[in-house]
Amino acid sequence: MPTVILLTAGQADTVRGPSAEQPSLAALQPIALTDGRFILGVEVLTDPAHAEDHAVLAALPTADAADIAALLPQPEHE
C-alpha cells in the first residue's frame, strides 16, 4: 500500500510551491484532507528536485494511504 506524509496546515504552507532546485519543473502541492491535515506522497523524499525539503518532510508522521482514504475530499456532483 502507498504511504503518505501527514502535514499540518502550517507545514503544508511552508513546503507548498515551486522547488528551489527546479522551480519551472517541480512543485509541491499538498492535498487537503477533510480533517484539516494535508498529505504528500513519500516519493517526494527521494526526488532531488525537493532536496531542500527532505529533512523537514522526513521528520513528519506518515500513514498508510488506505487508512486515510475516507478523509480525502469527495468530488462534487452536479
Nearest-angstrom CA–CA distance, 14 and 3:
21
Which pLDDT band, with edges at 50, 70 and 90, does 1 fall under?
Answer: low
pLDDT of residue 74: 81
Share of the chain above pLDDT 90, in %: 69
Quick check: 52 and 18 in contact, CB under 8 A?
Answer: no
Which pLDDT band, with edges at 50, 70 and 90, does 19 fall under?
Answer: confident
Average pLDDT, the chain: 91
Nearest-angstrom CA–CA distance, 31 and 27:
13
Q: Quick count: other Cβ atoms within 10 Å of Cβ 37?
A: 20
Q: What is the pLDDT of residues 20-49, one digit of tens each?
A: 777 778 899 999 999 999 999 999 999 999
Nearest-angstrom CA–CA distance, 48 and 8:
23
